[in-house]
Amino acid sequence: MSVTAIHRARTAILQEEMEKADVDALLIYGNSWHADSLRYATDFGVQEGQALALVGKDGSVTLLLDDRGEVDRARADGNCEVVFAPRLIEKAKEHLARAGNRRVAATPWHLMPYGLTRAATELRIADGAEILEKLLMGKRDFEVEAVRHAAKLADAGYEVFRGAVRPGRKDYELIAEIEAFFRANGVPENFMIIGVGGVEVRGMAPPVGKIIKEGDLVTTELTPCVEGYYAQVCRTMVAGAPSELQLKSFAVYQEALEAGLASVRAGVLASQIARAENEVFRKYDLGKYVTSEYTRVRGHGIGLFPDQKPQLLEDIHIPVGEGSTIIVHPNTYHPDVGYMVLGDTIIVRADGHESVGGLSRQLLAMNS
Partner 1 sequence: MRRGFYGWDARELPLEALEARTRRLQEAVRAEKLDGLLLYTNIARPAAVSWLTGFTPYWSEGLLFVPPQGAPDFATALSNRVAEWMRSVTPTGSILCTPRPAELFGKRLAEEKANRLGVLELDMLPGGQAAALTTAAPSLELVDATALFQRARGARDDAETALFNRAAEIARASFNAISPAAIAKAHAAMGALEKAARDQRVEEIFVVIAPNLARDANFLRVDRAPNVGASFAVRASLAYKSTWARLTRSFSTDALTAAKFAAFDASFEAALTRLDPGKSLQAQLVAAFAGHKGASLTHWSLESCRGSYPLEFIAGDGEPNVGAVALEGGVLCVEVADGGLRWIGQQPLRAG
Q: Could you list the residues that contact partner 1 (CB under 8 A)? A: 31-33, 45, 47-50, 66-69, 72-73, 75-77, 86, 88-89, 109-118, 172-173, 175-177, 179-193, 202-203, 205-209, 223, 226-227, 292-296, 306
Rounded to whole angstroms, what are the CA distances from 147 to 26, 230, 240? 26, 6, 32
User: CB-wise, 175 or 264, nearer to partner 1?
Assistant: 175
Residue 255 backbone dihedrals phi, psi, to 5 degrees: -65, -40
Residue 354 C-beta: closest distance to partner 1, Å: 25
User: CB-wise, 85 or 264, nearer to partner 1?
Assistant: 85
Any idea what DSSP says for residue 364? Answer: E
List all residues 6 or more positions away from 157 whose beta carbon is below 8 Å from its beta carbon.
Answer: 178, 181, 182, 190, 222, 224, 233
User: CB-wise, 25 or 38, nearer to partner 1?
Assistant: 38
Residue 330 C-beta: closest distance to partner 1, Å: 15
User: CB-wise, 62 or 190, nearer to partner 1?
Assistant: 190
List all residues 6 or more positions away from 130 whose beta carbon is below 8 Å from its beta carbon.
Answer: 21
Any idea what DSSP says for residue 189? Answer: -
| CA neighbor of 40 nearest in space, from 99, 108, 95 | 108
User: CB-wise, 14 or 27, nearer to partner 1?
Assistant: 27
CB atoms within 10 A of CB 366: 20
Residue 350 C-beta: closest distance to partner 1, Å: 33
Residue 296 C-beta: closest distance to partner 1, Å: 5
Q: Taking CA 105 as the corner, what is the angle to CA 99 and CA 107, rounded to the nearest 5 degrees?
A: 120
What torsion do the CA atoms of 252, 255, 256, 261 make, to the nearest 10 degrees? 160
User: CB-wise, 152 or 248, nearer to partner 1?
Assistant: 152
User: CB-wise, 110 or 317, nearer to partner 1?
Assistant: 110
Residue 67 C-beta: closest distance to partner 1, Å: 7
Phi-psi region of 36 (alpha: psi -120 to 50; beta: other; left: phi over 0): alpha
Q: How far from chain centre, in Å, is Cα 348?
A: 16
Rounded to whole angstroms, what are the CA distances from 120 to 19, 96, 102, 231, 303? 21, 11, 12, 36, 30
Residue 328 C-beta: closest distance to partner 1, Å: 19
Residue 31 C-beta: closest distance to partner 1, Å: 4
Q: Is it true that the peptide bond before 310 is cis, omega within 30 degrees of 0? A: yes
Residue 65 C-beta: closest distance to partner 1, Å: 11
User: CB-wise, 3 or 251, nearer to partner 1?
Assistant: 3
Rounded to whole angstroms, what are the CA distances from 119 to 48, 86, 113, 221? 26, 20, 10, 41
